[in-house]
Structure 1
Amino acid sequence: MRTPRLPRWTATLTWKAAVFITVMCCALAALLGALVHAAVTRQTVEESRGKALDRLTEATEAYEGGAPLPGYAGVDPPGLPAALRDVAVGGKRGTVVSSFEGHPTMWAAGPADGRAIAVRVDHTQSANTIEGLDRAIVGSSGLAIGATLLVGAFAVTRVTRRLHLTAQVARRISAGDLDARVNDPRTEDPSRRQDEVATVSGALDTMASSLQGKLLSEQRFTADVAHELRTPLTGLTAAAELLPEGRPAEMVRDRVRAMRSLTEDLLEISRLDAGSETVDLEVHQLARLAERVVRSSGTDTEVRVAGDAAVETDRRRLERVLGNLVSNAHRHGRPPVVLTVNGPVVTVTDHGPGYPEYLRAHGPARFRTEGGSKGHGLGLTIAVGQSAAIGAELRFTNAPEGGAVARLTLPEYVRFDDDSPDLAPEGEM
């Protein structure tokens, strides 16, 4: 049998604080109410007992002097509690509160020739006073609990609102918005005392500024290096073309092409990191575009169309993403490599060892590859960046029977009328 789970809101700090404040207020109100009730009851009963004993003394003197007893006194009067009568017959004086004719009554009794002489004092007013006090204690306790709960909830809500803002900024930073800051006013004014939330907010802002500075420095360094390499590589390419044909010349040209490709990849990554890319959106048929990418790749890749769809995207960027996925599947996986189009979803699968754990968990890492394979780990990094630029989602998984699976989900084009969309021409290679 499954244990029922509490609702999500019960885990919030506001709810926990409200429960804690309510419980503590109730406990404190109950303790104070019990102490006040006991003190007032004891004082009231003592006053009634003193009054009853004074009357008993007067009635005893009248009985011993042969004078008639007052109306509130009598020997073995009706209604006298049996326990008090036994005490009086035993030669002792005593008092007790009981009910007489439906009213609270204080009895006092003493010995009188083997019988009990007793007096009674109306205890109704004292009992009403105690009941009124109890109602006042309950009412004031409820008001105090409600007021304390409101004030406490207001104070806790202010704290939790600041915590939620800090968490929201942290999520924005993790999503790539390095300009996000909490900007808590307590951290900006040195004369104001900081609480724990302000300390956390200030630490988060400091961390974000430091991270932003380091990333910007790395981006500038990458862009500067790539730009500086283009000029000598251009000269090197021209020089390599002048070499006499042969194996050494072919090796030099191959390395020069690899260097040019790496430089272009670095430039593209620097532009993606800087967020300076502009997207040129047009409506395209996804199956036709995918077939074009496979033809231009020159690889033995099978294309399967389970269902075509019109997508609004940047064709150049999408071709770059699909081309990198197909190239990576052939370079690091094993055939057959299959590209499947199913609506706005494109899947590239191979039958190799699959993606490593770090890539599936955290995404591709630059200049990191597994098993000593060729490459610099930039192809999938560019694919992820370009996918984000066109609003697509790229996920990396492994098939249960083995092999890597790259799943690209594109925003599908939605028509608001019956007219067919104007599709951009795909062109021929």
Structure 2
Amino acid sequence: MVKLALRSGLRWKVSLAIAGVSALVAVALSLVVHNAARLSMLDNSRDVMDERVQIAQRYYENTGRLMLHAKVDDPTLPKQLRDAAAVGLRATYLQDSAGNGTPEVWASVPLRNGKILSIHTKFKDRFSIIDTLDRVLIIGSVSVVLGGTALGILIGGQLSRRLRKAATAARKVADGDPEVRVRDAIGGRVRDETDDLARAVDGMAEALQDRLEAERRVTADIAHELRTPVTGLLTAAELLPPGRPTELVRDRAQAMRTLVEDVLEVARLDGFAERAEMQDIRLGEFVVRRVRIVEPDARVKVVRDAYVSTDPRRLERILGNLLANAAKHGRGPFEVTVEGRVLRVRDHGPGFPEDLLEKGPSRFRTGSKDRAGKGHGLGLTIAAGQARVLGARLTFRNADPEVEGGTGAIAVLWLPESAPTSTGSFPIIRVPD
């Protein structure tokens, strides 16, 4: 089952949260204020009508005439007021008016002659204040929500910006830049949880760098110590009498020497101490000459030639390792294509394994899907390291049988337009779809 996930920025999450809380608070306060104002208005209207009915009662009993639009035994008098007058009580009553929200306020009082004096009115002028108050509350609520949203965008934007800077710095650390510190990258005077996160990431990066540096030193020291005895072993093997055992000894001694040299090279590349010696070369002509020496059977196609500034020795090392990997783990024909600053090496074997495509080359992991090929898996690791020194990008993929006609592994070297930086990092190269 495929789970759909919506991606949204922290800025908008914080903004929506603050806007939602602001809206809830504004609505709640508006309802409380509206109800309180309405109840106060109704109570005041009852008091006013009660005073009026008392004045009308005294005037009627003294003069026999009616005032304040009072009526005696009004046939429309509500039943609740008739019941109250029956027991001799003066009362007020609110009657809902059909078609509008202004209630009709009644007041009644029993007279000495057994009749009921009553008055009623709607107080339209007074209750119109409620409508004005509602409009003010709506405008205020909208203003609060908009202000809360703007505040959320401001706070969330600042936090999101700090986190993006931290993510960018962390990626640089992951790419091997030892000088980058996440805490320095995010900056700011306010200390919050992002600073704690940055310090934790910096501490973890420093610990990992120290550990990797220690492992690199151990690896380089071991390889360096093995270099002398292996050279002596290879020299001694040359003095053995001809024969099959001698050939086996020479072959294994040479393989061990190659392994030691490769391990030393990987250690130097891991230490980011290598620097390229740049020269201007014509890429197509350079590749044709080198391929003829390394793999004479490979087919070279120059789609578009270009002049590039690179280190010829390191570029030759990359090209040789890619062709050697194709020869060991793939099948012919081998194809080398030059298109501007892009160099492709392809075979027609089973292709790269999935873990290599996902995680990239790793030492002592060969480029064969069935791992049946010979080799110690350092060729692609060295090629990727040399590409980093050149400021280039080395990518790996498998051929699409429907589009590219058959299977096979394809390694693509993207040479940069400018020289590499002082740290050996490469600029961003846009890879076409």
Q: TM-score normalised by the shorter chain: which range applies? A: 0.7 to 0.9
Inter-partner Cα distance in structure 2 for 1:367 and 1:410: 26
Give unpaired runs (5+ residues) of structure 1. Answer: 187-191, 415-429
CA 348–27 in structure 1, closer or farther in 2 if over 3 Å, else same: same
Inter-partner Cα distance in structure 1 for 2:225 and 2:76: 111
- Residue 409 of structure 1 aligns with which residue? 414
The amino acid of 1:204's aligned partner reads: V
Inter-partner Cα distance in structure 2 for 1:304 and 1:139: 72
- Residue 126 of structure 1 aligns with which residue? 126
**Deviation of 1:380 (Å):** 0.8
Partner-residue secondary structure (3-state), 1:374: coil
Inter-partner Cα distance in structure 2 for 1:85 and 1:49: 15
Inter-partner Cα distance in structure 1 for 2:331 and 2:323: 11
Deviations 1:327-353 (A, max 9, x none): 111111122212222332222221222
- Residue 359 of structure 2 aligns with which residue? 362
Partner-residue secondary structure (3-state), 2:281: strand
Inter-partner Cα distance in structure 1 for 2:295 and 2:23: 78
Paired residue for 1:216, among 209, 213, 216?
A: 213
Conserved in 2, the CA contact under 8 Å of 1:40 and 1:130? Answer: yes
Deviations 1:295-322 (A, max 9, x none): 2215421222233222222111111111
Deviations 1:61-87 (A, max 9, x none): 4334443333x233379xx9x854777
- Residue 108 of structure 1 aligns with which residue? 107
Root-mean-square deviation over aligned CA pairs: 3.5
Conserved in 2, the CA contact under 8 Å of 1:76 and 1:85? Answer: no
The amino acid of 2:336's aligned partner reads: L
The amino acid of 2:126's aligned partner reads: S
- Residue 372 of structure 2 aligns with which residue? 372
Confirm or deny that 1:236 pairs with 2:236.
no
Partner-residue secondary structure (3-state), 1:73: coil
Inter-partner Cα distance in structure 1 for 2:147 and 2:335: 67
**Deviation of 1:323 (Å):** 0.9
Q: Summarize the alignment of residues 297-316 of structure 1 with structure 2, pairs less than 5 Å apart.
A: 297-316=294-313
- Residue 430 of structure 2 aligns with which residue? none
**Deviation of 1:252 (Å):** 2.5
Confirm or deny that 1:251 pairs with 2:248.
yes
Deviations 1:267-302 (A, max 9, x none): 221221111112122222222111111122154212
- Residue 426 of structure 1 aligns with which residue? none
The amino acid of 2:412's aligned partner reads: R
TM-score by length of 1: 0.79
- Residue 259 of structure 2 aligns with which residue? 262
Deviations 1:195-245 (A, max 9, x none): 654443333222212211111012111222222222223333332333333
Inter-partner Cα distance in structure 2 for 1:130 and 1:320: 85
Deviations 1:62-119 (A, max 9, x none): 334443333x233379xx9x854777678856545779xxx99855356788987444
Conserved in 1, the CA contact under 8 Å of 2:81 and 2:93? Answer: no
Partner-residue secondary structure (3-state), 2:260: helix
CA 91–237 in structure 1, closer or farther in 2 if over 3 Å, else same: closer
Q: Summarize the alignment of residues 185-200 of structure 1 with structure 2, pairs less than 5 Å apart.
A: 196-200=193-197
Partner-residue secondary structure (3-state), 1:367: coil
Inter-partner Cα distance in structure 1 for 2:398 and 2:364: 22
Larger displacement relative to structure 2 (245-254 or 218-227) = 245-254
TM-score by length of 2: 0.79
Inter-partner Cα distance in structure 2 for 1:413 and 1:36: 68
How many residues end up aligned between the 2 structures?
395
Inter-partner Cα distance in structure 2 for 1:378 and 1:50: 97
Inter-partner Cα distance in structure 1 for 2:184 and 2:304: 51
Conserved in 2, the CA contact under 8 Å of 1:353 and 1:403? Answer: yes
Larger displacement relative to structure 2 (61-70 or 114-123) = 114-123
Larger displacement relative to structure 2 (403-412 or 195-204) = 195-204
Inter-partner Cα distance in structure 2 for 1:36 and 1:413: 68
CA 151–184 in structure 1, closer or farther in 2 if over 3 Å, else same: farther
- Residue 224 of structure 2 aligns with which residue? 227
Inter-partner Cα distance in structure 1 for 2:287 and 2:54: 114
Paired residue for 1:277, among 268, 274, 277?
A: 274
**Deviation of 1:256 (Å):** 2.5
**Deviation of 1:154 (Å):** 3.9
Give unpaired runs (5+ residues) of structure 2. Answer: 86-90, 420-433
